[in-house]
Amino acid sequence: MPWCGTLRVVFLGTAASMSTIKARLQSIIYQLDDGSLLLFDTGEDVQRAFEEAKIKINKPLTIFITHMHGDHVIGLPGLLFRLGLLNRTKDVEIFGPRGLFFYLLAQRLTVGLITEYKILVNEIDLADNSMTAYPPMDVNFTLEGLDEQIKKVNFEDGIIKETKNHSIIVLNAEHTTIQSFSYIYKEQPKPGKFNPERAMALKIPRGHLWGKMQEGQTVTLKDGRIIDPYSESIVGTPREGRVIVLSGDTRPSQAIMEFIRNNRVNLLIHEATYTDEFQAMALDKKHSTIGEACAVAREGNVEKLALTHFSIRYFDDMQKVESEAKEQFNDVIIAHDNLAIEL
């Protein structure tokens, strides 16, 4: 059932630019209530991170790449290889910037990235709110007639993927690559709390009718009664779904600020590559400092802030990072590899 369980966010890698013995490169996965997986970025050795986090390989999986820097995509071919070696059968859909398809095509042509399952690549272009959808890359893929198989798909309001339970929204980030993205996970409104005693009092039989009412649907009984679950107080008022904003590599962006000012955000995951003393470097490299990330969270009134993507200079003394962050935002989490947050 949708919304009946916990949404779990696992930080598979939290380092910037270069991995160390203490931290892998950037990668974050959301484990949804229905068992499906949303993976954001694929830093080096993300495949082993899957194993450490005990994430099953044949669950529905969608991958989102924030930008085409090596520390965010270098682990993608290895992960796709591993899924093939472990006999994955379900398709893998991947969204990201221009160049993503040909990056994977080069892996196929040079080192044999050929899988039984389908790899479905969608390249995003926010300049005209469209995606380039490439033909499935699997054992049957061929370069013959490739141009004729490529499709352009338009989207609205930044929504690049939508399911019954949630949507994924893409925003422009402000980084050094031509295309850099932030991603928003936004659930559909949750049904209100179900009152079984009230349903039984109205002599509504258990079964599929209860399920429909839980989803807010009006039902018709065999005796002809039409039951509106809200007006009959069987289901409470619908609640807002959970919202997670993931910044990717970026300066504090106007796009994120505009969104979080106008939406209740349960969790903001924001890069904080540097402590505040390296403000000039953050400006030059188009990253954010801890203070800047905390300021975004305060101004947007987010419920919880998680900082990640730390320079390797800090991993011998993460207390400095934590102290600086907690001085500036109350409910802040300093992410580390294998940290799990439940919402």
With residues binned 3-state (H G I as helix, E B as strand, rest as coil), the percentages for the chain, rounded to 5, are: 25, 25, 45
Bridge partners of residue 95, in order along the sequence = 64, 122
Q: How many distinct helices (H) and strands (E) make up the chain?
A: 11, 18
Between vectors from CA 39 to CA 22 and to CA 158, what angle results, nearest 5°? 130
- 3-state SS class at 323: helix
Residue carrying the six token digits 């349960």: 266
Nearest to 251 by CA among 267, 265, 271, 269: 271
Nearest to 75 by CA among 114, 104, 98: 104
Distance linking the first and last C-alpha atoms of the chain: 16
Which is the catalytic residue, given 41, 45, 71, 249?
A: 71
Q: Are 121 and 94 in contact (CB under 8 A)?
A: yes
CA–chain centroid gap for 338, Å, is 16
- Order of strands across the sheet with 339-342? 151-154, 130-133, 119-125, 92-96, 61-64, 37-40, 27-31, 8-13, 339-342
- Which are the contacts of 254, defined by CB distance < 8 A and separation ≥ 6? none
> Where are the alpha helices (H) located in 181-246, listed in sequence order?
196-201, 208-214
Helix axes of 318-326 and 290-300: crossing angle, nearest 10 degrees? 30
Nearest to 64 by CA among 10, 121, 113: 121
Nearest to 42 by CA among 1, 82, 98: 82
Verify whether residue 317 is a known catalytic residue.
Answer: no
DSSP summary character for residue 208: H
Residues designated catalytic? 71
